[in-house]
Amino acid sequence: MPPHQANAHKLDASQVDEIAQLLVLAFENGSGLSQICKAEGEELQRRLHFLFRAGLALQAAANQRVLSVTQDDLVTGVAVMQEPESCFPLWLQIHWLLQVSFGISPVVAWHLWQSLRILERHHPPEPHYYLMLLGVHPNFQKKGYARALLEALHSRSEAHPTSIGVYLETAKEQNVAFYKYFGYQLITQVNINGVENFIMFRPNFRE
């Protein structure tokens, strides 16, 4: 049975913990964020959950939408995105940074801030969608849920009047081939604090 269609929506406060936990399960093994968190086991899970919860709150405060797929009313996959010509106000970014500093550690907050500032230099100057996070619950991986999320994101970009495509970063080298399958091109690689980041972009394919 094919996965349900991915839907774009603003974050419901009741879903934040559920989505944060889904992202923890999707990102705790070898992701760039797990390396930045500098922890293992339960402490790594705690730090990731705090980080994702704070990030989702930032997303909601900036009126950004997320894409999600569900099965039996449970969120099984999510794509956290930034829409073209939108931004996160500086005061919201500082608030998020302080949350991470006090909730995890100042070192983790600094490494995150440094990584974001370096990576943003590689964004295209033209309006585009930014795929910030793509996560599918481990029990539902390899069943087409990531495809549903990506295709929905690509459709949004292609229907947008000014977007030229979708930009993303991944710290897992095995993800590069996966994204290439969906039309992404590897632009460059950037090593930040020992974490290799693969910068990718998918131009719109309009008929």
Please list the residues that pair with 143 across neighbouring strands.
none
What pLDDT is attached to residue 128? 97
Candidates 169, 159, 158, 163; CA nearest to 120 is 169
Q: What is the pTM of this model?
A: 0.93
Q: Tell me the H-state helices in the chain.
A: 16-27, 32-37, 41-61, 90-103, 106-119, 145-159, 174-181
- Environment class of 89 (CB within 10 Å of its CB; exposed 0-12, middle 13-18, buried 19+): exposed
pLDDT tens for each residue of the chain, 207 residues long: 455 688 888 887 778 899 999 999 999 887 888 889 989 999 999 999 999 999 999 898 888 899 999 888 888 999 999 999 888 888 888 999 999 999 999 999 999 999 999 999 999 999 999 999 999 999 888 889 999 999 999 999 999 999 999 999 999 999 999 999 999 999 999 999 888 999 999 999 865
What pLDDT is attached to residue 142? 87
- The pLDDT tens digits of the residues spanning 34-75 come to 889 989 999 999 999 999 999 999 898 888 899 999 888 888
CA distances from 33 to 50, 65, 121, 196, 203 (A): 12, 21, 19, 11, 26
